Chain A
Amino acid sequence: MSRSRKTSNEVNGTGDRKTGGTGFHGDLSRLLDSVPSMVTYVDQEHYLQYVNAAFETHFGISAAAVTGKPLAEFIGVEGYTAIKPYMEKALAGQPVHYEMEIPLKPGIRFIEATYTPDRDENGVVRGYIGFVYDITEKKKADKIAEQKIGNLAAIVHSSTDAIIGKDLQGRISSWNEAAERIFGYTEAEMVGQSVTILIPDDHLNEEPLILERLKKGEIINHFETKRITKDKKILDISLTISPVKDSQGNIIGASKIARNITEEKEAQRLVRESEERLRMAVQSTRLGTWEFIPATGLLTWSEECRKIYEVPPGMEVDYAFFLAHIHPEDVDIAQGAIQAAMEAAGDGNYDIQYRILQYSNRQPRWIRAQGKVFFNSTGEPERFIGTVLDITEEKTREQVLMDSIELFTTMADNVPAMIWMSGEDKFCDFFNKTWLEYTGRTLEQESNDGWLENVHPDDADRCIANYNRSFTEAKGFYIEYRLKRNDGQYRWIADSSAPRYNNEGRFVGFISACMDIDDQKKIREKIQDNELILKTISNAAPVGLWMTDTNAMNTFVNETWIKWTGMPFEQHLGVGWLEKVLEEDKLDAPARFWDAMSKREKYSTEFRLLRADGEIRWCLSEGFPYYHFNGEFAGYAGSVTDISELKKLEERKDDFIKMASHELKTPITSIKGYVQLLLNIYEEMNDEKFQSSQTTVKSSLVTISKQVSKLTRLISELLDLSRIESGKLELHKTAFDLGALAEETAQDIRLTTTRHAIIVENDFEGTIYGDKDRIAQVLLNLLTNAVKYSPDADSIEVSVIKEKANAVIKVRDNGIGIDKKDHQNIFERFYRVEGKSEQTYPGFGIGLFIANEIISRHDGRIWVESEKAKGSLFIVTLPLNAKDS
């Protein structure tokens, strides 16, 4: 070290850092410091004696730190070993120039060095001056350039694009394999040829322009044009043309990359079309699009998207805005779906329907959002894009549909009918609650053809056949079959089905309502049985039976009637039955029927019928109105009885009574006459000899006369009865004074009784219209009864008054009275009040019956007010305005 120092001092002499032992001083030193290359001075001992400023800068080390120190110390053993041969050669006096890679302390460096030996005045080499260039960067660049060239050649060789070189005259100078593939010409064919071979006629004008631009040094990028192949195919070509310059920068030609974009073009055209379609589709669907970058929170909405939310133009939207406009009820669903989509584990898909609130008016809208999350390499969600569509209307429609389905289901479930529906596939897919409850099965059990399991085995085939036939014809049907109820009982069901049609009017299955008609069916069977019985009875009946409709048209006659007339059933219908009625009765019988029907009264008439055997028979036809269950008039039903025998009998009876009464009356008239004559004679006799027996004889004659009168009355009553029964009691009505009649009748009674005072109060003025003799008969009857049944009383009161539109006659006695239960009965024929006290009173029991008949025929009323042992009050009312009827 000391030596080195000494040496250094020798060289430098000054101890100055820069000068060292080399003796570079002053101007030289400054000169060397200004040199861009590194300069060193190394002595025979391989000590660094000088480094310039460039060295210091390059290695980042001060000169002081390295001068006077062995080079090996600075560059390290490896580096030193590498350069040592060159150092020794230089120190041996030979100039050295080398380039080599040496490991230096900062790393491997590539250096270029020139060592120039330094000789003293004796020519002894005492060191060398080294010019060292660090060419590491240059070498690197060279290496890259070298690689590039190699790559380029490979690219050119293997490129799918045609790479064509041409000079400024347009002559081809190079032609790669791709060019051959694309254009069909070989390199040999093309080199030296004009590039215009490749240009279609209608594109020839392009070439001069391209060349013009190239001469100006412009690069032509992606110029799309057409080129022609060897086999005359026109190709879409994208050209990238760069000028080629020589080392002086003069443009000497061009490198042309031609890419066949024919397919790409086609693809692009298709893409454009489909994009256009998509765009139109998107526009027409009002599909909004959006993009969300989770990392930055940036949210981008398309115009359509903003419209859905009714965001005013110019207003910014962000994720918070988006969240704030989710319908409160749907926040959980929406956020849940977003989070699920952004899960790294998931597929990133997002498809959700929820409600938003519009910005402008907070109106809820239904939207459907679909999207896709893209994840980066670390699995973080990077981009979330998607679409949004306002589906409020669809939702509303859906809701309406759902509502209507729900309504239908609710209705279907709540009607008492059992309802099922089948679809286009023939299978039943709906059974309402009523059905399911009825069968006690589930919808799943009943669906398709499960319901058939519960159909009675005897009915199943018929059901299936009917259903299939109806389905083929798309026609509604009605069928009855037995279905097992939940209690295991098979019951008859009426299944009434209608075809269903969709909006286009296509048949899509059936809807059917079913009712349990088991009870009705049994009733119906019962009714049928009853009808059969009724028919049998009706045909067996000895009377004719008939029915009419509401228009008096005959609808039914029984077998008996048919036997009588000898006409077939049909001929009796309507008014056909009249054919066999005698001409004389043909008008009267229907007229009476019409009259009765108009009043809905009992119909009764007699007519003569020409029987099939030629005999004329008297028939009594009687009928009653009959009504439907709802009370509506249905017509008349009745019977026809052959009363010919009865009629004959009656006539005989009538004749008998007439005869009897006439035959009786002649002797009675005679007896009566003589008795009365005798009485007259007797009364006019004054011989006192007869005085003693006078009373006895007289009373005997009086009694005879009375009895004859009574007998006369009884005969009259019998005759009246006969007349009433045969409907032949005739009235001869005139206007007469009722009050006077009452007085006259009372006077007649007074002659027959000495016990009773007959008191008449006559407040009646004017006349009434009626049969005077018959009314007199009634009064006589009432008064006779009053006398007869009040043996212990001494007065009978008669009053005649006007009351409203009636004349009222009251006859009051103070006799034995009549029990309330008999008040009605006493007006019936042959009725006599039973009881001890009554038995002593004689009579036929027809007087009041006749009286009642007479009063009724005058449209009046007769009744009694009485109590046992408290006398009786008989009241007769007669209308004042009565006319002939």
Chain B
Amino acid sequence: MDKSAYQILVIDDDPDIGLMIKIVLEYKGYKVLVAERPDKAATHIREKLPDLIVMDMLLSGVDGTDICKQLKQDPLTAPVPIIMISAHPNAKEICMEAGADDFVLKPFDIQDLISKISWLLSSRQTK
């Protein structure tokens, strides 16, 4: 499947990181939307359900894991794979517990992020 057919939603309150991920993923052929705030993200999701979400754990006072939990509890959004990112070394457990499909620790290797996205999308397709 053509990568451009995939819509990836990046939620990060830090515009630098959001932009960096957007550039990297677009370079790799994905369609990318970046939301700095959860409410914006929600708008995007309502407009068009993304194929995958990359989300920072800390969103300026809002806990990304809570959003993750909500998305995974909603039957509509539950199938969407979520990769959480965080600078906190212990965050992985919390994120996985919240229902995230995978986790990358900041600062990450872009190759690591790309292969995880690629893997999740392809496995989703096979389902």
Contacts and interface: CB of A to CB of B under 8 A. Distances in A.
Interface stretch (B32-40, B106-114, B119-127): B106-114
B24 A673 contact: yes
B38 to A, nearest CB: 19
B20 A669 contact: yes
Interface stretch (B46-54, B59-67, B68-76, B86-94): B86-94
Nearest to A663: B87
B17 A672 contact: no
B2 interface: no
A182 interface: no
Interface string A662-699: 10011111111110110011000000000000000000
Contacts of B107: 665, 668-669, 671-673, 708, 712
Contacts of B87: 661-662, 665-666, 669
B24 A677 contact: yes
Contacts of A676: 24, 109-111
Given A666-B16, A670-B20, A677-B24, A716 B89 contact: yes
A719 interface: yes
Nearest to A665: B87
A614 B6 CA distance: 62
B86 to A, nearest CB: 10
A473 to B, nearest CB: 79
Contacts of A719: 89
Nearest to A681: B27
Contact of A673 (B89, B90, B92, B110): B110
A730 B14 CA distance: 27
A666 B24 contact: no
A730 B16 CA distance: 30
Contact of A665 (B20, B21, B90, B106): B106
A820 interface: no
Contacts of A716: 89
A670 B109 CA distance: 10
Contact of B27 (A661, A668, A670, A677): A677
A194 to B, nearest CB: 157
B49 to A, nearest CB: 26
Nearest to A674: B20
A677 B106 CA distance: 16
A554 B99 CA distance: 51
A524 interface: no
Contacts of A677: 20, 23-24, 27, 110
A680 B26 CA distance: 13
A677 B90 CA distance: 27
A732 interface: yes
Contacts of A732: 90, 93
Label chain B's interface by main secondary structure.
helix
Label chain A's interface by main secondary structure.
helix
Interface in A536-593: none
Contacts of B109: 672, 676
A781 B17 CA distance: 28
Contacts of A730: 90
A232 to B, nearest CB: 143
A673 B93 contact: no
A672 B90 CA distance: 21
Contacts of A665: 87, 106-107
Nearest to B109: A676
Contacts of B111: 676
A676 B90 CA distance: 25
B20 A673 contact: yes
Nearest to B28: A680
A732 B89 CA distance: 11
A677 B92 CA distance: 25
Contacts of A661: 87
Contacts of A662: 87-88
Contact of B106 (A666, A674, A680, A681): A666
Nearest to A684: B27
Contacts of B88: 662
B108 A672 contact: yes
Nearest to A716: B89
A229 B53 CA distance: 164
A868 B7 CA distance: 58
A547 to B, nearest CB: 41
B103 to A, nearest CB: 11
A674 B21 CA distance: 9
A383 B116 CA distance: 144
A160 B90 CA distance: 147
Interface in A705-737: 708, 712, 716, 719, 730, 732
A730 B93 CA distance: 11
A357 B50 CA distance: 133
A7 B92 CA distance: 205
Nearest to B18: A670
Contact of A670 (B17, B89, B90, B93): B17
B16 A680 contact: no
Interface string B1-23: 00000000000001011001101
Contacts of B16: 666-667, 670
A448 to B, nearest CB: 91
A457 B107 CA distance: 91
A201 B21 CA distance: 168
Contacts of B110: 672-673, 676-677, 680
A584 B108 CA distance: 41
B11 to A, nearest CB: 15
Given A677-B23, A681-B27, A730-B90, A666 B17 contact: yes
A343 B65 CA distance: 135
Contacts of A666: 14, 16-17, 87, 106
Contacts of B89: 716, 719
B37 to A, nearest CB: 17
B67 to A, nearest CB: 20
Nearest to B112: A676
Contacts of A674: 20, 23
Nearest to B111: A676
A259 to B, nearest CB: 143
A705 to B, nearest CB: 9
Nearest to B108: A669
B96 to A, nearest CB: 10
Interface in A621-676: 661-662, 665-674, 676
Contacts of B27: 677, 680-681
B2 to A, nearest CB: 18
Interface of B: 14, 16-17, 20-21, 23-24, 27, 87-90, 92-93, 106-111
29 contacts: A662-B87, A665-B87, A665-B106, A666-B16, A666-B17, A666-B87, A666-B106, A667-B16, A669-B107, A670-B17, A671-B107, A672-B107, A672-B109, A673-B21, A673-B23, A673-B24, A673-B108, A674-B20, A674-B23, A676-B24, A676-B110, A677-B23, A677-B24, A680-B110, A712-B107, A716-B89, A719-B89, A732-B90, A732-B93
Given A671-B107, A676-B109, 17 more contacts: A661-B87, A665-B106, A666-B16, A666-B106, A670-B20, A672-B107, A673-B17, A673-B108, A673-B110, A674-B23, A676-B110, A676-B111, A677-B20, A677-B27, A716-B89, A730-B90, A732-B93
3 smallest beta-carbon distances between A and B, as pairs: A669-B107, A673-B20, A665-B87
